[in-house]
A and B are shown apart, each in its own frame.
Chain A
């Protein structure tokens, strides 16, 4: 498959994730959209790395995957804490910083 096929696939998945992130109201749902977007970027990294013949993209993908795992663990810890204090999982209900 040509490089364009991989880039197009990643663009479609990224926009699906963007749609989910913008439209979801539940915080866990928003996090799932972010996951899809990060995943799409990883496809781009690996595809560029393979077609360019350099390892840097794959090393970057490894780092991105590990950092995403840390991000998800922290994000869900925040969601659980939010449930304890406010009994809600809806992002719109968390607006303490609103002036």
Chain B
């Protein structure tokens, strides 16, 4: 077993275990912490795919930003309601059947599609290539993304404005 295979299995087990804990845990705050672990494991999976820059963005934006915002929201809403948020689930059997069905369909597609591609050797610096294509071919979506983030910032601060 090479290091890459060991790393893949380690991060895959962590990711699936943490994902399971996110969806079946009772305490909402613990769910968010498990989600942070799942997102960091995903960054590890990205590392096994030689995508170091994506892994860094994943840890900074996702595991850093998203988890912080969610924890903040839980703290604020908990104060507003004045009781600890323990979440309940409903339609467990139906949900399990639906997701198991989707999983079966997806796995069937994956195994029957015949995508036994060999992994090509890494050509050059992937981060450099990524940056070049981000600012040449994909520069318009990149600028639109900046506009989207500005709109999101304005809308979020509008929603969260203090009451009149």
Chain A contacts to B: CB under 8 angstroms? 1-9, 11-20, 22-26, 28-29, 31-33, 35-36, 39, 42-43, 46-47, 49-53, 55-56, 58-59, 61-63, 65-74, 76-81, 83-84, 87, 89
Q: Is B116 a contact partner of A2 (Cβ separation < 8 A)?
A: yes
What size tier do the contact residues of chain B reach?
35 or more
Chain B positions within 8 Å of A43 at CB level? 42, 45-46
Partner of B130, one of A28, A59, A66: A59
Q: Is A20 a contact partner of B62 (Cβ separation < 8 A)?
A: no
**Which chain A residue has the least Cβ–Cβ distance from B111?**
A4
Q: Is A63 a contact partner of B145 (Cβ separation < 8 A)?
A: yes
B53 to chain A, nearest CB (A): 8
**Which chain B residue has the least Cβ–Cβ distance from A4?**
B110
Q: What are 21 A-B pairs at a CB distance below 8 A?
A: A4-B110, A9-B12, A11-B110, A12-B19, A13-B19, A16-B19, A17-B23, A22-B94, A25-B87, A28-B74, A28-B77, A39-B42, A42-B58, A46-B46, A49-B51, A58-B130, A61-B51, A62-B134, A63-B141, A73-B156, A83-B77
Give the CA-CA distance A84 to B81 in the complex, in Å: 9
Secondary structure class of chain B's binding surface, majority of residues? helix
Chain A positions within 8 Å of B115 at CB level? 3-4, 7
B60 to chain A, nearest CB (A): 9
**Which chain A residue has the least Cβ–Cβ distance from B51?**
A46
Q: Is A18 a contact partner of B49 (Cβ separation < 8 A)?
A: no
Give the CA-CA distance A20 to B8 in the complex, in Å: 24
Q: Is B73 a contact partner of A59 (Cβ separation < 8 A)?
A: no
Given known A47-B49, A62-B134, A89-B85, contact A29–B38 (CB-CB < 8 A): no
